[in-house]
Structure 1
């Protein structure tokens, strides 16, 4: 049974308090639509707000723009239209172009290709395939408007969600070689985890 959104007019106590904090954070007169379903679970909404504010909204080792690109990649990977629209809007406010939005989608798709292949090698339980050529093209990793660090952060995030152990290890190694600090890489995954939790609840609510 779908979980309906909680209108601001019906919100009380903790949900109403968090709604007010969300409007203050975003500088809007209304609560962004994706958060209204979360309002039915006030404790989760409160946690999500605090996690979102710390790991997605505020700059840390990574700037907000980079975190929003990661957030958009997660929403696209999970095919969540409501969250994709939300993060696309925020990304545009940070100067992200239509070309860059398309590049994020291309990176997500290319990770799906490689994550599926290398995950099989691990799951097969044999070394029979280790010496065989990959044979898959992945020019989208290089043909983007992003710098290499941003590409590797997105690759690491999506490979983590796709549970491809060798892919995550490879992207972390390359990210470190590019000069990204461990704290920056971890921050990308913290942002990924927060965004994924919101997407997951929305999916459950609409099941």
Structure 2
């Protein structure tokens, strides 16, 4: 039994749609390749901070992808935890004076991912969607589409991110 299968069994009946959606977004019908799918899933799971979810997705990501994908997914989660807060603030405060200030935040991994730039940016896009950072979403979406991914692939990545977030919440629901 895979980590995701065990995780699905732990999701309560009130969230049975999430169990079904996990199967669908991680299944064969996705336009994402295995590295993209597991990278997005792991980056988003790490961003939820839900231990059982992280463990299950990490187990399957290690089996279904490469150590480089796992590395990049975790790096994307960490970087977006910082960037999404910073850039969301700059956008929300709406003052040009903050936009003119240098970020002075190290983001070297964005330039030198272990896998490839487009997939790493896709992982960052999915996490940015979870974290609700409009500027980051727009920036990463442009890079992945300009890099050759389709809007269907972007859509599948965001569907996966949304389902991972819902799984994290579902695992924390009280038993009725």
1:170 pairs with 2:139: yes
**Distance between the aligned counterparts of 1:190 and 1:179, measured in 2?**
19
Instruction: Give 2:106's aligned residue.
Output: 137
Structure with a larger share of its residues in helix: 2
Q: Is the 8 A contact 2:4 2:60 kept in 1?
A: no
Aligned pairs, how many?
Answer: 175
- SS of residue matched to 2:173: helix
**Distance between the aligned counterparts of 1:56 and 1:126, measured in 2?**
41
Instruction: Give 1:183's aligned residue.
Output: 152
**Distance between the aligned counterparts of 1:164 and 1:149, measured in 2?**
19
Instruction: Give 1:74's aligned residue.
Output: 44
Shift of 1:137: 1.4
Structure 2 gaps, min length 5: none
Instruction: Give 2:70's aligned residue.
Output: 101
Shift of 1:110: 0.9
TM-score by length of 2: 0.88
TM-score by length of 1: 0.76
Q: Is the 8 A contact 1:66 1:150 kept in 2?
A: yes
Q: Which protein has the larger Cα radius of gyration, Structure 1 or Structure 2?
A: 1
1:146 pairs with 2:90: no
Shift of 1:205: 4.0
Structure 1 gaps, min length 5: 1-27
1:88 pairs with 2:58: yes
| Change beyond 3 A, Cα 1:64–1:43 | farther
Instruction: Give 1:8's aligned residue.
Output: none
Instruction: Give 1:199's aligned residue.
Output: 168
Instruction: Give 2:81's aligned residue.
Output: 112
Shift of 1:144: 2.4
CA deviation map 1:79-117 (0-9, x unaligned): 1111111111111221322x5423322211111221111
**Distance between the aligned counterparts of 2:40 and 2:174, measured in 1?**
23
